[in-house]
Amino acid sequence: MVQETHVSAANLIFPLFIIEGNNKKTEVASMPGIFRYSIDNLLREIESCMKLGLNAFDLFPNIEEALKDKYATESHREESLYLRAIREVKKQFPEACVVTDVAMDPYSSDGHDGIVENGEILNDETLEVLGKMALAHAQSGADIIAPSDMMDGRVGYIRQVLDENNFKHVSIMSYSAKYASAFYGPFRDALNSAPKFGDKKGYQMNPANQREALIESRLDEAEGADFLMVKPALAYLDVIKLIKDDTELPVAAYNVSGEYAMVKAAIQNGWLNEQRAITEVLLSIRRAGATSILTYHAKEVLENKWL
């Protein structure tokens, strides 16, 4: 009766990793209980999630190295793994909410989120690639486009591309405050998408900065974002609260791979109580102001009836 904060299936988005092939399911070594799925097994996993009341999924592709190039052309090729996966999910489960990741790094031979020239990221030239990618996702059935690249101006560019092609109903969940974090390591293992050189500090945010998050989120809102996201979540609860207090838009938060792996490692060593630790993590993110939580814990908390 007096509990102030609740988490339900409606607040959760489940990130899922996709690989090429048939009947494949391989565990991510640094993320116990999380797997890469071929499309046929992806459909089975989504079906089992939906029976639990979990209806929102963020899809991420593991692209073969031979298909990667400087301009991430595989990202918008019609018969690519990712676009086939989106189409199949929406065909089999039209009621599922499919969130798609817009960024070059899974498809880039450089492993960066933008086009690289002489060691520099070309922001404006990258926008054209992101626009092609977002349009291809919308044409394949995506409900929410989630640009995670942190290029300046990409929300406005993508919104214009979608609107001009009659996809005004497709929403944009912008990674507004995405920090250059140490907690992304297991995710990059899952997708084999780590930068081939350097780091991403030139376009991701300094973990020391808070007010910069307001600047970034206000720009994205002005450009037409429908959701504002903070990533990572657990180490940036103050930023979630700051943005939530500054906007009327829904705020999402990504409980990232390193945060998941950290908690799971402690649980496996018997140092933390599994149910209490995981539910406390999700409650804290929700309490800070997130209306949507992208989390690898999504299925297990519903399966075990921990919420």
Question: Known catalytic residues?
Answer: 178, 231
Q: Which of 286, 305, 277 is nearest to 13 (CA)?
A: 286
Q: Helices 274-288 and 257-268 sit at what angle, rounded to 10 degrees?
A: 150
Q: Which of 203, 304, 204 is nearest to 256 (CA)?
A: 204
Give residues with Cβ within 8 angstroms of 256, minimum separation 6: 181, 183, 184, 187, 231, 232, 233
HEC string of the chain equals CCCCCCCCHHHEEEEEEECCCCCCEEECCCCCCCEEECHHHHHHHHHHHHCCCCCEEEEEECCCHHHCECCCHHHHCCCCHHHHHHHHHHHHCCCCEEEEEECCCCCECCCCCCEEECCEEEHHHHHHHHHHHHHHHHHHCCCEEEECCCCCCHHHHHHHHHHHCCCCCCEEEEEEEEECCHHHHHHHHHHCCCCCCCCCCCCCECCCCCHHHHHHHHHHHHHCCCEEEEECCHHHHHHHHHHHCCCCCCEEEEECHHHHHHHHHHHHCCCCCHHHHHHHHHHHHHHHCCCEEEECCHHHHHHCCCC
